[in-house]
Structure 1
Amino acid sequence: MANISVASAHWEDSLEEGFGTISAESSQLFTEAPYNFKARAESQVHITTPEELLGAAHAACFSQALALFLGEKKLVAKSIDTTAEVTFDVVDGAPTVAKIHLKNVSDIPGLSQADFAEIAEYTKNNCPVSRALAGVQEISLEAHLA
Structure 2
Amino acid sequence: MTTRSASAKYEGLGKDGKGHVSLQSGVLTDQPYGFNTRFENEPGTNPEELIAAAHASCFTMALSFALAGAGHKDGTLETTAKVALEKDGDGFKVTRSDLTLIAHVDGIDAAEFEKIAGEAKAGCPISKLLNAEITLEHTLNA
TM-score > 0.5 by shorter chain: yes
Matches within 5 A, 1:33-44: 33-44=31-42
CA distance in 1, matches of 2:74, 2:80: 17
TM-score calculated relative to the size of structure 1:
0.91
Q: Does the 8 Å CA contact 1:7/1:22 hold for their aligned counterparts?
A: yes
User: Given the alignment of the two structures, is residue 98 of structure 1 paired with residue 95 of structure 2, yes or no?
Assistant: yes
Matching residue's letter, 1:56: A
Name the SS for the 1:43 alignment partner.
Answer: coil
Q: Post-superposition shift, 1:14? A: 1.3
Q: Post-superposition shift, 1:52? A: 0.2
Aligned residues: 141
Q: Post-superposition shift, 1:61? A: 0.2
Partner of 1:122: 119
Matching residue's letter, 1:118: K
Task: Tell me how large the CA RMSD over aligned residues is.
Answer: 1.2
CA distance in 1, matches of 2:127, 2:74: 21
Partner of 2:51: 54
Runs ≥4 residues deviating over 2 A:
91-94
- Give CA-to-partner distance per residue, 1:46-94, whole Å, 9 cap, x none: 3100000010010000011001111111113421101100111102443
Name the SS for the 2:82 alignment partner.
Answer: strand
Q: Post-superposition shift, 1:106? A: 1.0
Partner of 1:4: 3
1:87 to 65, 84, 87: 84
CA distance in 1, matches of 2:67, 2:53: 21
